[in-house]
Amino acid sequence: MKYDNICMSKETSLKDAMKLLDVTESGIILITKENKELLGVMTAGDIRKAILNGANSDSIVENIMNKNPISVEKGKEEELCQNLERIKKLPEREPIRVPVLDENRKVIDMISLIIHDNKKVKKSEENNSIKKVLVIGGAGYLGSVLIRKLLDKNCKVKVLDNLTYGDSSIKELYNHKNFEFYEGDIRNIHKIMESIKGVDAVIHLASIVGDPAGSINPQTTLESNYFATKILVDICKHNQINRFIFASTCSVYGAMGFEETIDETSELNPVSLYAETKIKSEQAILKAVDSNFSPTIFRMATLYGVSPRMRFDLVINLLTAKALSEKEITIFGGNQWRPFLDVEDASEAYIKCLEAPIEKIKGEIFNIGGNENNYKLIEIGKKIKQLVPDANLNIDENMQDRRNYRVSCNKAENLLGFRPKKSVEEGIKEIIEAMNKKEIVNYKDEKYNNYEFLNKMLDKF
């Protein structure tokens, strides 16, 4: 492992140390003299813990560095591995970086050690500094899929969620060793401060989602979708959490020309309070960008597909369920363009962003969908009809959704390397299969519809 770019003096500020950690993504800083003699080491976790305990970001690293770190003399790496096995010093399956010293305690190399499944300590090539992620809204439609993918990658996951729709989407994870759950509302500062401790990145999915749901109680929508986001950004900045991914929506484009393809620089034309709060949040997030805060904004396409927290207020999911259960598909208008994305692919986009070099995603906005997944609504109806041939396809031209946008996703493909893998047809087939297996008994149940559910509990909302 290269080490020259992670050495700094003991007078370096915590803020500058965190900046270096974020850029190099090494997970560790070496505090050395000018001649590279080792004085101590420090991790991002050390910095964040110190700040939570009242340290100022302008304090110097000498005050909090580990002055007695694990290190090894050149040529004695195997002996160190054996000693660590005996004293059980390493956390299981979590690598640590160890400086290699010469006889004068000068740093000449770095190695990464990890305990493998056979309980042997070995060198590791793993160098992913994103070990613990807080997913706010992790019990939701997208979040419940994403957190499982993060856990599959051996990432430690924290979830903060107010469980508006219950905990059925995550309760099987409560005993998972890498999963922590915090029940609380994003408007509760105490809960945010509690759940954010020790994390390397924050993914912010929580909001009152959808145009109809956002209109039920405008004040609550503003509090949850905008003001809470501003507070969350300030808390992340204070705690030196640089990576921050915000789930916005392609609904911010609103009513566009029928044949116009738009990208992240296009004019915004929202037609709902939901979209307006997302725009305000985007503006607040981008205003907060500095050398130690590198947020990313995802403008999400309309999602579809099966999730542990299923929804049937999404176009493809709803029309598929109606076709299967009632043998009717009704399209309002039909010529409106809309980008679509399977919920599994959407989750992969967030993981791509977590793994991307921070300079590529700092302060960037991405349309997250797929160029091949822009469809007119009538085309979606025809695809469902092909897979449920005994359903009738009806067009109602008296009612039309004003939203109309066909988006370019070239930026996400070029900078993140993200392209969706699952087609609309595959998503429709999975919904049909889930319903045929009785995994979903009544798609009309209010718990599957954000607007219907929240409207029913208006007195509590």
pLDDT tens, residue by residue, 386-431: 999 999 999 887 766 677 889 999 999 999 999 999 999 999 999 9
pLDDT above 50 (res 1) = no
pLDDT (tens digit per residue) in 202-258? 999 998 887 777 778 888 889 999 999 999 999 999 999 999 999 999 999 987 766
Distance from C-alpha of 210 to C-alpha of 453, rounded to nearest angstrom? 12
Task: Report the percent of the chain where pLDDT is more than 90.
Answer: 60
Span 319-348, mean pLDDT? 94
**Which residue in this structure is represented by tokens 């993200």?**
418
What is residue 456's predicted lDDT score, i.e. its pLDDT? Answer: 73
One-character DSSP codes across 91-124: PBT--EEEEEE-TTSBEEEEEEEEE-TTS-EEE-
What are the residue ranges of helices labelled H in 388-442? Answer: 410-411, 424-436
pLDDT at position 354, please? 95
Task: Specify the DSSP class assigned to residue 88.
Answer: T
Quick: pLDDT tens for 255-290.
776 667 899 999 999 888 999 999 999 999 999 999
DSSP 293: B
* pLDDT computed for residue 116 by the predictor: 65
pLDDT at 80: 82
Structure tokens at 15: 């803020």
For the stretch 204-238, what's the b/e string if a residue is b when 16 or more beta carbons lie within 10 angstroms of its beta carbon? bbbbbbbbbbbebbeeebbbbbbbbbbebbeebbe
Question: Residue 360 CA to chain centroid, in angstroms?
Answer: 16
The residue written with tokens 């305690």 in the block is 105
Q: Using CA atoms, how far apart are residues 73 and 152, in angstroms rounded to an integer?
A: 35
Averaged pLDDT, 194-209:
93
**pLDDT surpassing 90 at residue 22:** no
For 132, list phi and psi in degrees, rounded to 5.
Answer: -135, 125
Which residue, 250, 266, 453, 226, is CA-closest to 341? 250
pLDDT of residue 182: 97
Residue 277, classed as helix, strand or coil, is helix
Q: What is the pLDDT of residue 124?
A: 64
Res 129 pLDDT > 60: no
The pLDDT value given to residue 461: 47
Q: Please give the model's pTM, rounded to 2 decimal places.
A: 0.88
User: What are 31-47's pLDDT values in tens digits?
Assistant: 999 898 999 999 888 99
- Which stretch of 11-20, 78-87, 137-146, 165-174 has the lowest confidence by average pLDDT? 78-87
For residue 442, the cross-strand partners are none
Q: Token pair of 255, please?
A: 């009513």
Residue in 253, 302, 262, 264 with CA at minimum distance from that of residue 286: 264
> Given this model, what pLDDT does residue 279 score?
96
- When pLDDT is averaged across residues 1-26 and rounded to a whole number, the result is 83
Q: What is the pLDDT of residue 177?
A: 93
Q: What is the mean pLDDT of residues 91-96?
A: 66
Q: What is the mean pLDDT of residues 297-305?
A: 97
391 neighbors 323 (Cβ within 8 angstroms): yes
Q: Bigger pLDDT: 79 or 438?
A: 438
Residue 292, token pair as written in the block: 């130690």
Helices (H), 135-217: 143-152, 189-195, 211-214
Domains of the chain: 4-123 (3.10.580.10), 132-460 (3.40.50.720)
**pLDDT, greater one: 123 or 453:** 453
Interatomic CA distance for residues 94 and 99, integer angstroms = 17
Compute CA 287 distance to the chain's CA centroid, rounded to the nearest angstrom: 20
Q: In the predicted model, what is the mean pLDDT of the chain?
A: 89
Integer Cα distance of 127 and 184 in angstroms: 33
